[in-house]
Structure 1
């Protein structure tokens, strides 16, 4: 029997932050090497040994300067996506509507703009799996989806 190499896709955490008008916060990616110029939600890679909710809270502080208690995060969606760069990743989405602090662009070297938008009016250049994750997070919490996979 042939042995296969262990494969573990990268894991990312993503925050669907909503305001009192039911808009979601988007950030425009810049200088990252992935989807630069496209819109996304705050988020990033899970660090080794880090629990998912703490990773999402950490990313909120690093990217948009707000403090979120991990207990105020609600798991909302998992998307297993195949990126155009050939990488396969798992995106874990959380929603939050409570936090402390004012939202700011805390990483201006990696983000060129922030904006609040209605979920039904996302920009055309929203990252594909992020668009899917936002929609699923708000309409089918707890769901799992695939994005970018080719049919066999």
Structure 2
């Protein structure tokens, strides 16, 4: 039976691309100096699925935990899938399901200042150059109306 340290295990991750259609902006987080990876870089609200947790529930939970914004799982639409060969906490690889949503409740704020430097609305066509690579690609694909699978490190 595999153990949590087994290199063959993959990590399931959920991310939310929150789109404010009225201003054509997307909500991004800037990772803080104590982040586990990509310190100082911009990313979507994202996090690991807990054991037994549906990926949509993880997306909703992580968005709320990180930004204080609540999205109904029924309002999530598949935007992008990232399949990485390896990651910081996933030597056996990871699968990130990126959902898009344009309906929410709550005012975005940095709900996890120990992890993130800030939360900001960014124009959909101006994702910072120092964003985590899958973030820029997911937003660009979303803007173009494409649902894609991105393979990284294979």
Output the TM-score relative to the length of structure 2: 0.85
Over alpha carbons, which structure has the higher Rg? Answer: 1
- 2:131 aligned with 1:130: no
Q: Which residue of 2 aligns with 1:8?
A: 9
Q: Distance in 2 between matches of 1:32 and 1:7?
A: 25
1:31-70 correspondence runs (5 A): 31-70=34-73
Aligned with residue 103 of structure 2, among 90, 98, 113: 98
1:80-91 correspondence runs (5 A): 80-82=83-85, 85=88, 87=91, 88-91=93-96
Q: Flag as ranges the 4+ runs of structure 1 deviating above 6 A.
A: none
Q: What SS does the aligned partner of 2:139 have?
A: helix
What is the Cα deviation at residue 6 of structure 1? 7.9
What is the Cα deviation at residue 83 of structure 1? 5.2
Q: Distance in 1 between matches of 2:132 and 2:80?
A: 16
What is the Cα deviation at residue 127 of structure 1? 0.3
Q: What SS does the aligned partner of 1:49 have?
A: coil
Kindly tell me: are residues 121 and 83 of structure 1, through their superposed partners in 2, closer, same or farther at Cα, counting changes over 3 Å?
Answer: farther
- 2:82 aligned with 1:79: yes
5+ residue gaps in structure 2?
A: 1-5
Q: Which residue of 2 aligns with 1:114?
A: 119
Kindly tell me: are residues 82 and 131 of structure 1, through their superposed partners in 2, closer, same or farther at Cα, counting changes over 3 Å?
Answer: farther
8 Å contact kept, 1:93–1:137: no
Output the TM-score relative to the length of structure 1: 0.86
RMSD of equivalent CA atoms = 1.9
Residues 49-103 of structure 1, C-alpha deviation per residue, up to 9 Å, x if partnerless?
Answer: 1111111000111000011110011111111124575832211000011111111
